[in-house]
Structure 1
Amino acid sequence: MNKKKLIKSLKIILPLLLGVFLICISIYRSTEAERNQLYENIVQADLLFVFLSLFCGFLSHLSRAYRWKFLLAPLGYKIKLHNSFMAVMSGYLANLGIPRSGEVLRGASIANYEQVPFEKAFGTIISERVADLVMLLLILSIAFFSQTEYIIMVMDTYQINPFFGILILVILFLLGILFLKIIKKSTIPIIVKIRNLGKGILEGMKSILTMKNKFAFLFHTFFIWGMYLLMFYLIKFAVPGASVIDMGQILVAFVVGSFAISVTNGGIGVYPIAIGAVLVLYGINQQTGEAFGWVIWGSQTLLNLIIGGLSIILMPLINKK
């Protein structure tokens, strides 16, 4: 196996092993009674609320696919909604295998079936991620100001230093500026190719400033994240003992879960354990908190597996001509 294939394999295997390792540690540290209670909380989940949560997740994905059309329109591309939706779902499925690969597959899919240049499609996806980051920061701010005491407790318990994170972001920003200055003046062929790709991506990103349907884009952005919160909130009524969790606690758990899901393949292992760990700080039974995490993670992952898998199969068939 050459070095390139080895690195690619490690990107898939290591996050997955981390998730499995965390699951094993969680099982090892719990007693038989605690494991039985966790299992009972999961299997006794009210399926009505689980399906309502899944429906909210489906609506968020559909809205994301529709919102993408607004970003591509200023570039002169009018894509079909079904292709946009299947590309989005294929991307979610890819993220379960290789973290952060979904954006590349999504851009490649729409480039293949709608003849949109990949770099421009990818640029619009980056613009989407910027909008999503703003929404996550908004929710984080609301959670922080409504639950300041508990946020500080979480940081202290898990030794999270926010200033260290800010320092890393500043360093990455400065390195990014340095990299841009290098590729701007370089005449090396590979650097020139990167520069041309970057120009296409930048053009795609600028579409958020030139699109006509800014209000509709904002509406769908708020709708997507509203559905994310609602699908998360509904699970409190599904898991036994979770109905006591209030909205402020839901916001904190939601934010922590949003960051945790990027650590391993689709958040396997990390997501439910992180949710359980946060809710314990509020006095929620650990097995109830982890069951909450497993039900929301398991149901949404199953949704992505089914619809994402069907999308990969159906997309070439529907676009056969």
Structure 2
Amino acid sequence: MKITLKQGIQVVVSLIVAVGIFWFLYKDISFEELSGAVAELSWYWLAASILVALFGFWLRAWRWKLLIDASTESNVRTSRAFWALMVGYLTNLIVPRAGEVARCGVLKKTDGLDMGKLVGTVIVERSIDLLMMVSCIFLAFVIERELFVSIFEELVATDDLSESLMNILPIGIGVVIFLSLVVFFIFKKFKESRIVIKVRNFGKNLYKGMLSIKDVENQLGFWMSSLGVWLSYYLTMYAVALGIPSTASLTASAILMVMVMGSIGMTAPVQGGIGTFHALVAFILMKYDLSEEQGKIFAAIIHGSQVLTIIAIGLLALGIFLRISAKKKPRTS
């Protein structure tokens, strides 16, 4: 995948922002403090968190396989989906959001599947994840209502927010209508153009991929794996919390709040949620009477262990992908 100058600038800017936020958060924490916390860390619980995370990745790959099989009428191996997924995660550490396209490109290359349908299944996947994240936020709101409301009031001025939305809404609707008319005109005027035909075919396959959820044979497995993926996120974070003395006494509901804030931080358009994840996790831990340093150190340990795992398994997956691709190339005598 070639990166244009504009994309390159966006990558550099997002990386600068991520590093800037990270530096601002950790500039007052000495290496001795961080190394001391690592020395007190239970490696048993850290290893357990990594194993749970890997199981969650495999579960996500299996869920994606169910969608792919329903969309393309194929039988993709879960291992192929897993390696593609890990290449995607590795790509996200370099170019934010590019991993979703990268993993589709890997399966297109290794299994010859249609790119449009694969992207459609990823959109379905991400939509389900959004639903799960909203469900987790709602559950956190129910369990920790007072804390949740106080945080929301602290971060958002509700009166100003509603006024801003009312001002922006008409403009937003107008822009959507205008762009829709422009696209409609282009597709009608140049319907015989090769580019328009390719875009239309891609759109059809994308739509078919998005509808794949209703064609999944194992509906129970699909929805249970969706729950399992988010349960693995929760248990991964809980295991690390148990392995650090300062967070070992956190309640189950507190870990849920930490997971919710961390998940929100990971949605920011920066490489691997660097900076934003750490800031929100440290922020919420301070609400549970941890010091700012303790919150930041916990965030650094959980995030660092996950990033190192993704790099290690992602590089392995990339090597396997290159090996498979090399075997598929026709040999010339």
TM-score, scaled to structure 1: 0.89
Q: Does the CA-based 8 Å contact 2:87-2:314 persist in structure 1? A: yes
Q: CA deviation at 1:182?
A: 4.3
Answer with 1 or 2: which has the greater Rg.
2
Q: CA deviation at 1:76?
A: 1.1
**Partner of residue 278 from structure 1, selected from 284, 302, 308:** 284
Tell me the equivalent position of 1:240.
245
Matched, 1:222 2:227: yes
Tell me the equivalent position of 2:331.
none
Tell me the equivalent position of 2:64.
68
Relative to 1, partners in 2 of residues 1:177 and 1:72: Cα closer, same or farther, differing over 3 Å? farther
Instruction: Give the distance between the partners of 1:145 and 1:60, measured in 2 at CA.
Output: 26
Q: CA deviation at 1:54?
A: 0.4
Instruction: Give the distance between the partners of 1:133 and 1:170, measured in 2 at CA.
Output: 26
Instruction: Give the distance between the partners of 2:252 and 2:171, measured in 1 at CA.
Output: 35
Give 3-state SS (helix, strand or coil) of 1:97's partner. Answer: coil
Q: CA deviation at 1:180?
A: 4.9
Matched, 1:183 2:183: yes
Correspondences of 1:37-48 after superposition (within 5 Å): 37-48=33-44
Relative to 1, partners in 2 of residues 1:180 and 1:124: Cα closer, same or farther, differing over 3 Å? farther
1:35-81 deviation per Cα after TM superposition (whole angstroms, max 9, x unaligned): 64344223421111111000011001111111112112223121122
Give 3-state SS (helix, strand or coil) of 2:156's partner. Answer: coil
Instruction: Give the distance between the partners of 1:280 and 1:148, measured in 2 at CA.
Output: 17
Q: CA deviation at 1:243?
A: 1.3
1:111-164 deviation per Cα after TM superposition (whole angstroms, max 9, x unaligned): 111111100011011111111111111111000111122122222333375758
Correspondences of 1:133-212 after superposition (within 5 Å): 133-159=130-156, 179-180=179-180, 182-185=182-185, 186=187, 187-188=189-190, 189=193, 190-212=195-217
**Partner of residue 129 from structure 2, selected from 129, 132, 135:** 132
Alignment RMSD (CA, Å):
2.6
Relative to 1, partners in 2 of residues 1:171 and 1:73: Cα closer, same or farther, differing over 3 Å? farther
Tell me the equivalent position of 1:307.
313
Q: Does the CA-based 8 Å contact 1:233-1:250 persist in structure 2? A: yes
Count residues in correspondence: 315
Relative to 1, partners in 2 of residues 1:223 and 1:210: Cα closer, same or farther, differing over 3 Å? same
Give 3-state SS (helix, strand or coil) of 2:290's partner. Answer: coil
Q: CA deviation at 1:207?
A: 0.6
1:265-318 deviation per Cα after TM superposition (whole angstroms, max 9, x unaligned): 001122122211111122112222112111110111111101111111111313
Moved more, 84-93 or 15-24: 15-24
Tell me the equivalent position of 2:300.
294
Q: CA deviation at 1:194?
A: 2.9
Give 3-state SS (helix, strand or coil) of 2:248's partner. Answer: helix
Matched, 1:105 2:102: yes
TM-score, scaled to structure 2: 0.86
Relative to 1, partners in 2 of residues 1:164 and 1:270: Cα closer, same or farther, differing over 3 Å? farther
Structure 1 counterpart of 2:17, which letter? L
Relative to 1, partners in 2 of residues 1:172 and 1:228: Cα closer, same or farther, differing over 3 Å? farther
Structure 2 counterpart of 1:271, which letter? F
Q: Does the CA-based 8 Å contact 2:43-2:243 persist in structure 1? A: yes
Q: CA deviation at 1:191?
A: 4.7
Q: Does the CA-based 8 Å contact 2:22-2:275 persist in structure 1? A: yes
Structure 2 counterpart of 1:42, which letter? V
Structure 2 counterpart of 1:8, which letter? Q
Relative to 1, partners in 2 of residues 1:31 and 1:136: Cα closer, same or farther, differing over 3 Å? closer
Relative to 1, partners in 2 of residues 1:169 and 1:144: Cα closer, same or farther, differing over 3 Å? farther
Moved more, 65-74 or 169-178: 169-178
Give 3-state SS (helix, strand or coil) of 1:12's partner. Answer: helix
Instruction: Give the distance between the partners of 1:295 and 1:21, measured in 2 at CA.
Output: 19
Instruction: Give the distance between the partners of 1:169 and 1:229, measured in 2 at CA.
Output: 36
Instruction: Give the distance between the partners of 2:259 and 2:7, measured in 1 at CA.
Output: 30
Give 3-state SS (helix, strand or coil) of 2:310's partner. Answer: helix
Instruction: Give the distance between the partners of 2:278 and 2:210, measured in 1 at CA.
Output: 34
Q: CA deviation at 1:16?
A: 1.3
Residue ranges of structure 2 left out of the alignment (5+ in a row): 329-333
Structure 1 counterpart of 2:244, which letter? V
Relative to 1, partners in 2 of residues 1:128 and 1:95: Cα closer, same or farther, differing over 3 Å? same
Tell me the equivalent position of 2:89.
92
Instruction: Give the distance between the partners of 1:89 and 1:80, measured in 2 at CA.
Output: 15
